[in-house]
Amino acid sequence: LGTGPLKGRHVLVTSGPTHEPIDPVRYIANRSSGAQGTAIAAALRDLGARVSFVTGPADVPPPAGVEVIPVQTAQEMAEAVNSVLPADAAVFAAAVADWRVANAAGQKMKKDGSGSLPTLEFAENPDILASVSQLQAGRPKLVVGFAAETHDVERHATEKRARKGCDWIVANDVSPGTGIMGGAENAVTLITANGAETWPRLTKHETARRLALRIAEALD
């Protein structure tokens, strides 16, 4: 720690899924393992960065040598991100729930025996990537988002880059059969202002290493 091309740089990484409570014992989640975000945080650390790692409840442990800020919900993740800014670069690898349950119960919901069914109402969560990308003051120099797509990866990711206002999108094809979601490998397309670059299928560690090197180059 403390040497390498990212020495003296502060980089924020979000990772993992979020859990959105239904009641004190139930939640809505997604299948993100946190593997790619964790590998990115470790790779940035290895290049000398000070890394703030804001993570939802992931399957894999956080890397050593980074500042870990554990969160459960998207709203907590948004607050944690605000609390660690400013940063030189920010990588948003988390799979944030788009919606939270608006009518979450304060006590465990019970079957009342009448056969009546609960109804969940939803509210939209804050879009953390978009809000940081569009900061008027204190925007990180480099903001990187992710896009998990099942088809037309390049087109959808290019549109997402424009819509969110981030600098880069790391897009991957997560359609069934690729084995990427939850697997050890990734095949990504990097979308920048200069267009799309397709990387070979690599381990998530090697993908992270390449991305960290590109981030170091961009901040140089």
Catalytic residue numbers, as ranges: 30
Residue 94 binds ligand C5P, judged by CB under 6 A: yes
- Where does this chain touch ligand C5P (CB under 6 A) — which range of 21-29, 45-53, 59-67, 144-152? 144-152
Minimum CB distance to ligand C5P smaller for 27 or for 146: 146
What part of residues 111-140 is at the interface with ligand C5P (CB under 6 A)?
125-129
- Would you say 57 is a known binding-site residue? no
Minimum CB distance to ligand C5P smaller for 66 or for 78: 78
Residue 191 binds ligand C5P, judged by CB under 6 A: no
Residue 35 binds ligand C5P, judged by CB under 6 A: no
What are the backbone dihedrals phi and psi of residue 171, each rounded to the nearest 5 degrees, phi first? -105, 140
Distance CA 115, CA 100 (A): 25
List CB contacts of 6: < 8 A, sequence separation 6 or more: 44, 47, 48, 49, 212, 215, 216, 219
* Count of other CB atoms within 10 angstroms of residue 24: 12
Residue 17 binds ligand C5P, judged by CB under 6 A: no
Contact 36, 187 (CB under 8 A): no
Q: Which of 92, 100, 142, 157 binds ligand C5P (CB under 6 A)?
A: 92
Contact 177, 5 (CB under 8 A): no
Binding positions for CTP are: 98, 108, 126-129, 146, 160, 164
